[in-house]
Amino acid sequence: MSIAELFRAGGIVMVPLLAFSIAAIALSVERSVFWLRVSRRQRQVIRGILQTYRTDPSAALGRLKKHLDLPMARIFLEALELDGASPSQFRLALEGATQAELPLLKRFGTVFQTIVAVSPLLGLLGTILGLIHSFGAIRIGEIGANAEAVTGGIGEALVSTAAGMVVAIFALMAANFFRGIYKRQIALLQEYGSQLEILYEWHYRDTLPEGKAEEESYARMG
């Protein structure tokens, strides 16, 4: 049976299933390109920026502006551009910038979940419609004559269920793969974000008068 015949056997539900499969493939390609670009450069770039920030904060800001295509660089730059912020205010700015960036990192996650949930249901609907059509061909007194046609119709009706399962399995595997990458990036962001907070506090304390720095240190200890 050719692909065209399988498509016709699956019935009308094969149209949305085909659309779902195309969407899943296209979104998987887009997410793969995005995460490949980020994973190749982000760790090395951020490490270099943190080393630069340790000795020259202004130079680190300049380097961050050159890598605005990286999510972590955008998060750090937004927090560091808050002039004169205390360490606690800087932490809030960093957390806020992170939350603003999360939708981009989780982009299309809802679409994958929808495809995973709906595709098997569409396949089941196609099978039910096919069974209704097959049993509708049965005529009293002619069961023997139509048995082959009925069984063949049932077999064709199951095509839509198989197609729905295939689409759902592919979308689920892709979604889980990208979710794993996302979780690793969040862990990396927490690690480097903590390092940046420490470095920021060091520079912040260096800019304060000696008495003021001691007061803030006692306040944190209290």
Q: Which pLDDT tens digit goes with each residue over 170-196? A: 999 999 999 999 999 999 999 999 999
Q: At what angle do helices 14-55 and 71-80 cross, to 10 degrees?
A: 50
pLDDT-derived band at 100, boundaries 50, 70, 90 = very high
**In 10 A of CB 208, how many CB atoms?**
14
Match 């982000």 to its residue by tokens. 42
Residue 212: predicted pLDDT: 47
Residue 152: predicted pLDDT: 59
Match 């929808």 to its residue by tokens. 114
pLDDT-derived band at 153, boundaries 50, 70, 90 = low
Residue 47: predicted pLDDT: 93
Helical residues (DSSP H) of 11-142, grouped into ranges: 14-55, 57-65, 71-80, 87-105, 109-135
Whether this prediction's pTM lies above 0.85 is answered by no
Q: What region, left, alpha or beta, does residue 108 occupy, with left being phi > 0 and alpha being psi -120 to 50 degrees?
A: left
CA distance 143 to 205: 90
CA distance 25 to 22: 5
Residue 219: predicted pLDDT: 45
